[in-house]
Structure 1
Amino acid sequence: MRYVAFVHKDPDSCYGISFPDFPGCTSAGDTMDDAIANGTKALAFHVRGMETDGDTIPGPHSLEEIVIDPEFADELDGVSFALVPLVRDLGSTTRINVSLDLGLLKAIDDEARSRGQTRSAFIASAVRRELVE
């Protein structure tokens, strides 16, 4: 699930990111990529807080819905848009069955070993990175 994010850049400032579906959820970064990566973490943290408080998590609005919503008209001038994934850490792992080419599996295992990671940890970190890009 991806949410629309507004990416802002004022002169002499870093990039800011905010989420129209989650008022108050903001982050920043020195580059647009950093802002989106930090925004992904901020979104997950914000949603976790909402869940702890018993709040309902809104479904994502489409970019088209947000652009025509008069509530956001003042925020659209000079803004760039990004679609940011909601990547939750639910605190439990689940065993899955995945089919991979043996050569790819060997490369995964070699790289995981060189980093001192398990296969599962390596795959999870790679998928997290891929979701953000």
Structure 2
Amino acid sequence: MRYPIAIETGTATAAYGVAVPDLPGVFSAGDSLEEAIAQAEDAILLGLEDYAERAEALPKASRLQDLMQRPEFAGWTWAVAQVDPSHLGRKMVRVKITLPDEC
């Protein structure tokens, strides 16, 4: 899945801030643009896990062009974060196996 992210430009003394408009309350930051995008991908996955735990449908991504028109993001930079939600909602299972030592 791809989610548009809004990036508030950092400075020498402030990190880049990232908001995910399609996931209210999901935000992140990073000291560089690359780190900010990577942190956003992690934050999106955490946000999607909340939806999966509540058995709610995952929010669909908005059109980037529509989000860019929102006044609260005027002057922000836009990017698209790609995440793989395929593991969400799955329980982990521990498996013990025995193999011959010739393997």
Q: TM-score range by the shorter chain?
A: 0.7 to 0.9
Higher helix proportion, which one?
1
State the distance in 2 between where 1:37 and 1:49 align: 19
Per-residue CA deviations over 1:15-64 (Å, capped at 9, x if unaligned) read 11111101110011100100000100110111011110233211111111
- Equivalent residue, structure 1, for 2:71: 73
Asked if 1:8 is matched to 2:5, the reply is no
Which structure would you say has the larger RCO, counting Cα contacts within 8 Å and 6 or more residues apart? 2
What TM-score do the two structures reach when normalised by structure 2?
A: 0.75
Structure 2 residue ranges without an equivalent (≥5): 92-103
Flag structure 1 segments of 5+ consecutive residues without an equivalent.
Answer: 93-133
Question: Paired residue for 1:84?
Answer: 81
Q: Name the SS for the 1:4 alignment partner.
A: strand
Counterpart of 1:5 in structure 2: which amino acid?
Answer: I
CA contact (8 A) 1:27 1:38 kept: yes
Judge conservation of contact 1:16–1:28 (CA < 8 Å) in 2: yes
Please give the root-mean-square deviation of Cα atoms over the aligned residues, in Å.
1.8
TM (norm. structure 1) is 0.60
Q: How many residues in Structure 1 have an aligned counterpart in Structure 2? A: 88
Runs of 4+ in 1 over 3 A off after TM superposition: none
